[in-house]
């Protein structure tokens, strides 16, 4: 799958991690929207969709900007991303 990368998504508020494929040709804002909606569904709305979240590289502390496209960031297979 050359058009997707497998990341580990860490959700501190739920003390959960998820392995997620994300498309490399999408903006971070779209990835956040998809991830937030998915987590909310998985947790039966325990995860607050109305809050403003950031995607953060767990190793480097880089906060990804909404306008960035995944392929133009340091996100690769096995990157650990915090949603906070």
CA distance 15 to 2: 30
Question: Residue 1's pLDDT is what?
Answer: 61
**Cα angle 19, 56, 47; round to 5:** 60
**Tokens standing for residue 30:** 């779209």
Residue 84, classed as helix, strand or coil, is coil
pLDDT digits (tens), the chain, 84 positions: 689 999 999 999 999 999 999 999 999 999 999 999 999 998 998 899 999 999 999 999 999 999 999 999 999 999 999 999
Domain 4-83 has CATH 3.10.20.90: yes
Domain boundaries, the chain: 4-83
Alpha-carbon distance of 62 to 48, in angstroms, equals: 23
CA triple 44-48-41, angle to 5 deg:
30
């Amino acid at each position: 799958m050359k058009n997707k990368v497998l990341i580990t998504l860490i959700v501190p508020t739920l003390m959960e991690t998820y392995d997620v494929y994300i498309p490399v040709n999408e903006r971070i804002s779209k990835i956040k929207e998809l991830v937030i909606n998915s987590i909310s569904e998985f947790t039966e709305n325990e995860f607050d969709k109305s809050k403003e979240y950031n995607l953060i590289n767990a190793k480097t502390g880089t906060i990804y900007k909404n306008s960035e496209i995944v392929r133009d960031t340091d996100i690769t297979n096995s990157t650990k991303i915090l949603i906070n």
